[in-house]
Structure 1
Amino acid sequence: MADVPLPKEKWTGSIGELELGNSQDKGGSRRSVRLGGNRGMPFLSFEDGERRMIAMAGLVADSLDEVPQPVRDAFGDDAKDPVRWARTWAARGADLICLHLTSTNPEEGDASPESAADTVMAVLKAVDLPLIVYGSGHEEKDSKVLEKVGERARGERLLLGHAEESAYKSVAAAAMANGHAVIGFSNLDINLAKQIVILLTDFGLGKGDIVIDPLMAALGMGLEYSYSVNERIRISALSGDNMLRVPMICDCTSAWKAREATDDVPHAGDTLERGVWWEATTALAALLSGADILVLGHPEAMELARMAVSDLGGEN
């Protein structure tokens, strides 16, 4: 019988490692999660013999205005309190908490930076998981909010989001001064992804303190294009592009914004089941294209994503 060799790529680069969450001996109060280190494309064990962690982050928000109703319903009254919501995620096996401080938006609740920092500290006290912390998306307010959050949570090694080409200095400064990491956001463009890493490193942030978010589009909203951008970023990094050798985060909660995921169309089946699978399918595309962190809103979608990781990793 002919000996058929494995179609193995010989990569010259690898993904840099990054740690989130600091234990007590490092000035924090929680467990740590180590990401990155990949030397091959996802789930190709013959390229990268060592299994790498893919972290699942559960969505928590301090305001329910932008949270999809099925996600709220999955947590019941716990969704009304970020602390209880985070505890529920911890009990369900999440690796990280992704906390959105949407109440700070000046056009909505306009909560103060101090109030937002209080919420972050309460969640940090309630769970021992590392935290990803986003503002509201309002650039001017977010700079003040993340500065205060970074200062109050000094030593806990948060992942602050996000920095982009038009606004990155304040977030980077808050991270550098307090020992945190930063999400560098780019809009579906490999060159923009590289540019934000260059800007952050030129500002003084180490590559070991950066995670990139290339923007994960959901099924029905540009998933194929997102997949190709993510894959190109990962291939470029493994091929030796030093500025792209950082872990990647993909927010899969955008799936709930797809009309096809939640429209009440009888022939398309149950809307809740469809929405869960829509988010899980988006997560699967993110996994296969190189994501190191998945942000998920519905616990059933997270469970499906975990099953996919186990199956693709050869555990089942």
Structure 2
Amino acid sequence: MNYEPYVEKWSAEIIEVTIGATSQDGGTRSKVLKVGGAKTLPFLNFEGGSSNKPAVVAEVVDYLPEELWPIFYENLKDIVSDPIKWIKEVEKLQPDAICIRLLSCHPDIKNNSVDYIKSFIPEVLKTTSLPLIILGCEHIERDTEILPVVCELTKGEKILVGMAVKENYKTISLSAFACGHSVIAQTPLDINLAKQLNILINDAGVPLDRIVMHHTTGGLGYGFEYCYSIMERCRLAGLQGDSVMATPIINLVGEETWKTKEAKATVEEEPLWGNDTIKRGIMWETTTAFGYLQAGSDIVVLVHPESIKNVKSFLSQT
């Protein structure tokens, strides 16, 4: 008697979002990144799998005060102090895309203005040909000011822009859509709030295939199980036919991971954790990424080069 594995049947699939435009599409990117397209739960390829593998993205911050540096930055001081040089270095890791975070524009950091954006973004476009994700500075008023300018400067490149939140979603999402881009909808970790913001952005005129969800998640050990369960519920809802919840999911894994005590505590602070703090941080970042991929993440944004290599290696075997 032949064994026939049970195959779950789903009524819908996750919406596919395109990031990047080549010269054929009016852009200057060297390739196009497609995310989403899952027909079943993650890595259950025998049930139909996905049109696209999850994307591994390298993050570059345009400026980060030294007091906020992850511990491994000390070994890369010359690189991380120059975002253009940093972009060139992460390109060597062959990520699927590069994520640029414009933290220098935050009023409490460097308070860089629109004039800075007008000089920096064209330099980024000249430096890398990879698809781009461009994030603001996590300050609602300043993001509302700078992100429409980012959208205009990158018109035709089909970038992914973030974050659109409840307070500024109309300005940012419509600016992105008008320039041919897609937008990240960010909400606290609540399935109802995520759905509500997707509906608001969609009602404003942005199609669902231009929206990516971001739940404000933490690193491994910091409410990880709760993060996982909410993401999984979103994915299940999308596969069961709720089109508003069928948008891809992005996770800023590196940004969150290296803030945690487990990733930065010294041997003096935690003698039982060993003295290789950087190795511990890489393991923390890698493991967090693996967990979110299992929960349905379509894009994981990572910081450490070894973490990027680890996750790329894992996905190559799926």
State the TM-score, normalizing by the size of structure 2.
0.94
SS in 2 for 1:46: helix
Partners of 2:28 and 2:157 within 8 A in 1: yes
Once the two structures are superposed, residues 87-132 of structure 1 have per-residue CA deviations (whole angstroms, 9 ceiling, x without a partner) of: 1111111111111111111122110112123222211111111111
Amino acid at match of 1:70: I
Q: Which residue does the alignment assign to 2:15?
A: 16
**CA–CA distance in structure 2, aligned partners of residues 17 and 67 of structure 1:** 35
Does the aligned pair in 2 maintain the 1:59–1:297 contact within 8 Å?
A: yes
Matching residue's letter, 1:156: E
Alignment-derived partner of residue 120 in structure 1: 121
The worse-fitting range, judged by mean Cα deviation, of 264-273 and 228-237 is 264-273
Aligned counterparts, 1:47-196, within 5 A? 47-50=47-50, 52-65=52-65, 68-73=69-74, 75-196=76-197
Q: CA 1:184–1:71 in structure 2 vs 1: closer, same or farther (change >3 Å)?
A: farther
Distance 2:160 2:50 in 1: 25
Q: Unpaired segments of 5 or more residues in structure 2?
A: none
1:283 aligned residue? 289
Q: CA deviation at 1:81?
A: 1.4
Displacement of 1:181 in angstroms is 0.6
Instruction: Tell me, in whole angstroms, the C-alpha distance in 2 between the residues paired with 1:117 and 1:94.
Output: 26
Contact 2:59 2:98 in 1 (8 A): yes
Distance in 2 of aligned mates of 1:215 and 1:3: 46
Is the contact made by 1:35 and 1:54 (CA closer than 8 Å) also made in structure 2?
yes
Q: Is the 8 A contact 1:103 1:111 kept in 2?
A: yes
The answer on whether the counterparts of 2:186 and 2:213 sit within 8 Å (CA) in structure 1 is: yes
Q: C-alpha root-mean-square deviation of aligned residues, in Å?
A: 1.5
Change (3 A) 1:50 1:219: closer
Specify which of 265, 268, 274 is matched with residue 273 of structure 2: 268
**Given the two structures, how large is their TM-score scaled by the length of structure 1?**
0.94
The answer to whether the 8 Å contact 1:45/1:51 transfers is: no
CA contact (8 A) 1:114 1:148 kept: no
- Shift in Å at residue 207 of structure 1? 0.7
- Note if contact 2:144-2:172 (Cα within 8 Å) is conserved in structure 1: yes
Aligned mates of 1:74, 1:182 — CA distance in 2: 34
Segment drifting more, 96-105 vs 301-310: 301-310
Partner of 1:218: 219
Cα distance in structure 2, aligned partners of 1:134 and 1:9: 37
How far is the alpha carbon of 1:49 from its aligned partner? Answer: 4.4
Q: Which of residues 287, 291, 303 in structure 2 aligns to 1:297?
A: 303
- The change in CA–CA distance for 1:178 and 1:107 in structure 2 (over 3 A counts) is same
1:197 corresponding residue in structure 2: 198
User: 8 Å contact 1:135–1:161 — kept in the other structure?
Assistant: yes
Identity of aligned pairs, percent?
37
Q: How many residues align?
A: 311
SS state at 1:212 partner: strand
- TM-fit CA distance, 1:51: 5.5
Aligned-partner Cα distance in 2 for 1:51–1:141: 37
Q: Give the Å deviation of 1:70.
A: 3.1
Counterpart CA distance in 2 for 1:278 and 1:72 is 16
Kindly provide the amino acid, as one letter, of the partner of residue 217 in structure 2. M
SS of equivalent to 2:285: helix
Secondary structure at 1:58 match in 2: strand
Q: Which amino acid aligns with 1:18?
A: V
Deviations 1:10-41 (A, max 9, x none): 10010111110111122210021111111011
Q: What is the alpha-carbon distance in structure 2 between the residues aligned to residue 71 and residue 196 of structure 1?
A: 36
Q: Deviations over 1:164-216 (max 9, x none)?
A: 22220110121022111100012111111111110100000011111001223
Code of the residue aligned with 1:36 in structure 2: it is: G
Q: Report the Cα distance in structure 2 between the residues aligned to 1:282 and 1:299, rounded to whole angstroms.
A: 15
Asked if 2 retains the 8 angstrom alpha-carbon contact of 1:175 and 1:181, the reply is: yes
Return the alpha-carbon distance in structure 2 between the equivalents of residues 171 and 105 of structure 1.
Answer: 17
Gaps in structure 1 of 5+ consecutive residues: none
Within 1, Cα distance between the matches of 2:192 and 2:26? 36
Equivalent residue letter for 2:300: L
> Tell me, what secondary structure is at the counterpart of 2:203?
helix
